[in-house]
Structure 1
Amino acid sequence: MKLALMLVAAAVLTACASTSDTSPVITRQDGTKETTGLGSTKAKAQQAAITAANKQCGNKSVIVLSDSSTYNGVLDEKTGRMIEQGVGVVSAVFGKATPNLSRNDDYEYTIKFQCR
């Protein structure tokens, strides 16, 4: 019975680990495609969008026609960075874990692309 439960748990965990949460891709009337990646940093949001585009294009190359980035954090971008750096210094001095003020949707990176 224990072995069966462990096998079921392993199968569920494997299924969860293999599912990717890529951004949806929209196909426009002119044949171009668009997707928006989200992330706690601009680089992570950009990577999410590019990953979704690559998945959509398969073996073809992604040709980015336009891109834009938006910051949606609670604080403005510069203030948020300064607070996180200050908290990081104080945490390092007192040996505490650094709290993370960023969220997984702080940045949006939108690309319009074609597959060729």
Structure 2
Amino acid sequence: MKNWLYLCCITTSLGLTACTSNPTSTLAIQKENQQFEVTGLGKTAILSKNNAIVAANRTCGRNTTIVKDEKIEYKGVLKNVVDEKTGQTIAAATEVLGGIIGTTPTLQRDDDYQTTLSFYCQK
């Protein structure tokens, strides 16, 4: 009976964890003239760009992805409070302070940066 209860608890917690994870990219939106648009999310600008590129390449399959336009936006918790560089400094200082006092506070989230790519697929 105990084993059955443990199994149920583990299954439920795994199921709830899967429901709360954020996607790293959107599905491609097709626009006119065989052009597409995808959005990638990430904790850093580079991660969000990589996630958008992965989604674009997945859309094109075996064809070559040709990027026409790229837009990166910071959408973090400190967006309208301070500029991006100051926000990064505050986030780093918070993590260092948390390490000193033994906690792991973070101001960064997995969707702080958003990269939008407009692209088309070429054979």
TM-score by length of 2: 0.71
Specify the code of the residue in structure 1 equivalent to 2:97: V
Q: Tell me the equivalent position of 2:30.
A: 27
1:47 Cα offset (Å) = 1.2
**Distance in 2 separating the partners of 1:102 and 1:89:** 13
Contact preservation (8 Å) 2:95, 2:106: no
Contact preservation (8 Å) 1:36, 1:108: yes
Of 33-42 and 75-84, more deviation after overlay is shown by: 75-84
Q: Does 1:43 align with 2:46?
A: yes
SS at match of 1:29: coil
SS at match of 1:87: helix
Q: Tell me the equivalent position of 1:61.
A: 64
Contact preservation (8 Å) 2:28, 2:38: yes
1:92 Cα offset (Å) = 3.5
Specify the code of the residue in structure 2 equivalent to 1:45: S
Q: How many pairs are equivalent? A: 104
Structure 2 residue ranges without an equivalent (≥5): none
SS at match of 1:54: helix
Q: RMSD value over aligned CA atoms?
A: 2.4
Deviations 1:11-66 (A, max 9, x none): x88xx6xxxx4411111112111111111111111111111101101111111111
**Distance in 2 separating the partners of 1:52 and 1:81:** 26
1:89 Cα offset (Å) = 2.7
Q: Tell me the equivalent position of 1:89.
A: 96
Contact preservation (8 Å) 1:23, 1:48: no
Kindly, what percent of the aligned residue pairs are identical? 37
**Distance in 2 separating the partners of 1:84 and 1:65:** 33
1:87 Cα offset (Å) = 2.1
Deviations 1:63-88 (A, max 9, x none): 11110111111213222211122223
Q: Tell me the equivalent position of 1:80.
A: 87
**Distance in 2 separating the partners of 1:26 and 1:62:** 14
Q: Tell me the equivalent position of 1:115.
A: 121
Contact preservation (8 Å) 1:45, 1:108: yes
Contact preservation (8 Å) 1:41, 1:106: yes
